[in-house]
Structure 1
Amino acid sequence: MRKIYKHTQANRGMGLERIIDMANTQYRNKGVADVRKIPTPVKITSNVKGKVSGHVTKGELVDYFGVKDGRAIVFDAKETNITTSFPLKNVHEHQFNILKSWHQKGAKAFLLISFTKRQYETYLLPFEMLEEAWKGYIGDGKKSIPYEDFVLNCDQVKRDKGYVLHYLKAI
């Protein structure tokens, strides 16, 4: 049974990221792949008697980078509590641009999207599908990807073969 995490603005996405981190450790330990989380950049504003204060700075990267079978992997993890769609506003422009740049250079670029109110159903959204949806998002088109599109066109990733979340099976 999965532990349910309390989600606030500060820790939104942390449940999925913890599971991905566990899977990445399993992949490294088994020699399958080496995928690492990029730490969130923080600017320290003060350090008074060991009490450190700071704030998160605007990121320029996505959450994860790695390599499998000699091929680069780059992706971001997203959670949504909406059951009918994934809002594209959850993807920042710099994240889209990083995924696009790496995809154009041959990397496997994607999003892992978890629908929290659907018992954390998680799907691997390939960059090509994200790019198609993004064209409408920046234009006058749809502002989200319907849940049905995930069910019909994406691989659902879940626990498999001893991995807590076997997302590499889908790439």
Structure 2
Amino acid sequence: MRGQNRTYANRGAILERLLDITNKQYLNTRKADVKKIPTPVKILKVAGSKVSGTLTKGEFTDYIGISDGRSIVFDAKETKEPRFPLKNLHDHQYRFLKSWHEQGAAAFLIVSFASKQGEIYYLPFERLQEFWDVAQKGGKKSIPYQYFSEQCQKIKSENGIVLDYLKYAVGS
């Protein structure tokens, strides 16, 4: 059981590291300023230098930023399955993406498929919304890998940027 928890806790860690490097590269080249939003923690007890607490439900997505005056908001997800289960995206994350999309932000998901040698795709909010709406009406609850490989942009290292997602998000 412990090994499972550890594996679950580290899920997406590689993708997150790659995005941290990418966002630093964007900042250094003045292309964008994108920050990772830390998971909120409710502090329960402080004893000297020891702090204990619990993770609380966040209100945001993983990343938020700006590029050329346009807001950017996205979540990074990794799946070991040959599809992206929509249950991996929480309701509050979807609502946050939707709200910002409606206000003109570049809202999207970055999805990594561990079962496909870590292929990483850009899924714009409009396409996510189509699948989300179907799932809410009792339809399919996941997006197949084939959809990503045929309909979405594959994110790769380009122009010296580790995961150059910005060109899909804001056209840079």
TM-score, length of structure 1 as denominator length: 0.92
Post-superposition offset of 1:140 = 1.2
Residue 168 of structure 1 is matched in structure 2 by: 166
Please state whether the residue corresponding to 1:164 is helix, strand or coil: coil
In 2: Cα distance, 1:49 partner to 1:36 partner: 30
Task: Report matched runs for 1:87-98 at 5 Å.
Answer: 87-98=85-96
Range with bigger deviation, 116-125 or 10-19:
10-19
Post-superposition offset of 1:123 = 0.2
Post-superposition offset of 1:60 = 0.8
Residue 49 of structure 1 is matched in structure 2 by: 48
Task: Report matched runs for 1:55-70 at 5 Å.
Answer: 55-70=54-69
More helix by share: 2
Q: Deviations over 1:31-88 (max 9, x none)?
A: 1111111111011111223121111111111011111111111000000001x21100
Post-superposition offset of 1:114 = 0.3
The answer on 1:131 being equivalent to 2:129 is yes
Q: Note the residue ranges of structure 1 that are not aligned, 5 or more in a row.
A: 1-6
Please state whether the residue corresponding to 1:31 is helix, strand or coil: coil
* Amino acid of the structure 1 residue aligned with 2:29: K
The percentage of counterpart residues that share the same residue type is: 56
TM-score, length of structure 2 as denominator length: 0.92
Q: Deviations over 1:85-126 (max 9, x none)?
A: 110000100010010011011111000000012111000000
Residue 105 of structure 2 is matched in structure 1 by: 107
Q: Note the residue ranges of structure 2 that are not aligned, 5 or more in a row.
A: 1-5
Post-superposition offset of 1:11 = 2.4
* Amino acid of the structure 2 residue aligned with 1:95: Q
Residue 151 of structure 2 is matched in structure 1 by: 153
* Amino acid of the structure 2 residue aligned with 1:25: K
* Amino acid of the structure 1 residue aligned with 2:121: Y
* Amino acid of the structure 2 residue aligned with 1:89: K
